[in-house]
């Protein structure tokens, strides 16, 4: 009886302790990114893996159309709502810091020495005044996609894409088709500065013609010189002189290429999965054409950061999640499922990745790639879009339009600099 009474007291004490303490506290955090199917699917896989390893943390995955994304993030964080971990384009960092959307990553969880030793150097752009604010799962470079069937139909070797800028023009001429009225119905090369062409012109063509887009600390526009003019003339002549392209043909170059209406297309590694899913599309991808033996490429990346909204246990959970989605394993999954290149050098340079028939061209391009230190990516992109529109739509001279673009770009830099 005494023994039974003792056990009863012990049971009551245990139940009381459980009632007061409750089960292990569950933490819920939100992760936001823009709508892009392969990215959404890959992140869902990573979240499932993370939650399996961390059953006390739930990650709510939310996405918005690209056109609405930045506005949604800014409004929600300002109101103390929305994401705890957020995806952003690296070129938006200055805007996000000005709006106080992000908080710095703690060195206890994200040591600077590890970031600088293991990630590609371009990630250094995420360091502002000695603090890292975001890290990428993947990086991207540009490549030249070509339609092998259209090459064959034009009498060109389907296994030999253009190696130089001169060959790019020559082949584009042979690959362009017109209707009886002279309208282009198949472009030799897509043109779309709203997409990746603004990066191709700024960081690749300008350098290949002997210039540089900005000075060393990106405080002064320098493409308004002879080299920049030659580079812009070369680009504009696909429409003005050679008549082998239409700006935003079929609305977007990616769409035209996928539909078999564009023979060549310059884009990022992130479209690989899109073209791989396209039935009856026979294509290849290679490094960007060189000029005067000069190779150049543009590298960019999307990063994930912890918002100022995340505090306490949510901040700790957000840090754990950010560490997880920037591991070697996460980067390999992202490469396999999305086609974007691992941000850690050790993963990217694995033989199966660097020698891959599709990924390899982009990984090799990282060796000579440049990353624009944007002050406002959207605004600086628009200067290139408007620069081309002025000559195509209004007939303005190439030199005058270039000068206007440089002045607009300089104003963005002057007004956006973080002192």
Tokens of 184: 């282009």
Distance from C-alpha of 238 to C-alpha of 263, rounded to nearest angstrom: 14
The 10 Å CB-count burial string (b at 16+, else e) for 183-209 is ebebbbbbbbbbbbbbbbbbbbbbbbb
Position 5 scores a pLDDT of: 43
Fold for 141-299+373-416, please state it. D-Maltodextrin-Binding Protein; domain 2 (3.40.190)
Tokens of 104: 């710095």
SS3 313: helix
Position 107 scores a pLDDT of: 98
Distances (CA, A) of 345 to 154, 307, 372: 40, 27, 20
* Helix ranges restricted to H, 197-267: 198-199, 206-208, 226-240, 253-258
The answer to whether 77 and 101 have CB atoms below 8 angstroms apart is yes
Q: What pLDDT, in 10s, does the model give residues 297-340? A: 999 999 999 999 999 999 999 999 999 999 999 999 999 988 88
Residue 187 — φ and ψ, nearest 5°?
-85, 145
β-pair partners for 142: 268
Residue 352's Cα: distance from chain center in Å? 22
| Residues of each domain in the chain carrying CATH 3.40.190.10 | 27-140+300-370, 141-299+373-416
Position 219 scores a pLDDT of: 95
Q: What is the DSSP letter of 110?
A: S
Residues lower than pLDDT 50 in the chain = 1-23, 419
Position 25 scores a pLDDT of: 63
Distances (CA, A) of 60 to 6, 29, 309, 321, 346: 46, 6, 15, 12, 30
Cβ atoms within 10 Å of 385's Cβ, excluding its own: 18
Position 279 scores a pLDDT of: 86
CATH number of 27-140+300-370: 3.40.190.10
Distance from C-alpha of 209 to C-alpha of 291, rounded to nearest angstrom: 7
**Residues ≥6 apart with Cβ < 8 Å to 46:** 324, 325, 330, 333
Position 35 scores a pLDDT of: 96
């Amino acid at each position: 009886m005494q023994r039974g009474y003792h056990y009863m007291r012990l049971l009551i004490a245990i139940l009381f302790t459980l009632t007061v303490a409750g089960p292990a506290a569950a933490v819920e955090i939100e992760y936001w990114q823009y709508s892009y199917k392969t990215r959404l699917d890959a992140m869902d896989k990573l979240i499932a893996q993370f939650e399996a390893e961390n059953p006390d943390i739930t990650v709510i995955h939310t996405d918005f159309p690209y056109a609405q994304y930045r506005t949604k993030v800014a409004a929600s964080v300002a109101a103390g709502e929305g994401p705890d971990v957020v995806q952003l384009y690296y070129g938006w960092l200055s805007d996000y810091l000005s709006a106080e959307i992000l908080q710095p990553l703690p060195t206890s969880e994200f040591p600077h020495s590890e970031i600088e030793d293991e990630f590609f150097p371009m990630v250094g752009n995420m360091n502002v005044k000695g603090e890292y604010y975001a890290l990428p799962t993947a990086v991207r470079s540009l490549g030249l996609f070509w339609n092998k069937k259209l090459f064959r139909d034009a009498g060109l070797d389907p296994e030999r894409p253009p190696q130089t800028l001169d060959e790019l023009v020559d082949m584009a001429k042979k690959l362009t088709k017109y209707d009886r009225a002279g309208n282009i119905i198949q472009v030799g090369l897509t043109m779309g500065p709203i997409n990746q062409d603004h990066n191709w012109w700024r960081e690749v063509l300008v350098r290949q013609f002997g210039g540089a887009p900005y000075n060393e600390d990106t405080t002064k526009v320098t493409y308004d010189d002879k080299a920049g003019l030659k580079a812009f003339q070369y680009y504009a002549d696909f429409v003005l002189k050679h008549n082998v392209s239409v700006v935003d043909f079929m609305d977007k170059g990616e769409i035209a290429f996928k539909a078999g209406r564009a023979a060549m297309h310059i884009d990022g590694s992130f479209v690989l999965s899109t073209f791989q899913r396209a039935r009856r599309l026979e294509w290849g991808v290679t490094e960007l054409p060189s000029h005067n033996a000069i190779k150049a490429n543009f590298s960019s990346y999307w990063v994930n950061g912890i918002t100022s909204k995340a505090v306490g246990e949510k901040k700790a959970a957000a840090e754990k999640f950010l560490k997880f989605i920037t591991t070697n394993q996460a980067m390999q999954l992202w490469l396999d499922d999305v086609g974007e290149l691992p941000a850690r050098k050790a993963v990217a340079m694995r033989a199966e990745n660097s020698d891959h028939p599709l990924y390899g061209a982009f990984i090799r391009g990282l060796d000579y790639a440049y990353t624009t230190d944007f002050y406002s990516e959207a605004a600086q992109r628009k200067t290139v879009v408007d620069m081309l529109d002025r000559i195509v739509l209004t007939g303005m001279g190439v030199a005058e339009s270039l000068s206007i673009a440089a002045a607009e770009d300089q104003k963005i830099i002057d007004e956006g600099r973080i002192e």
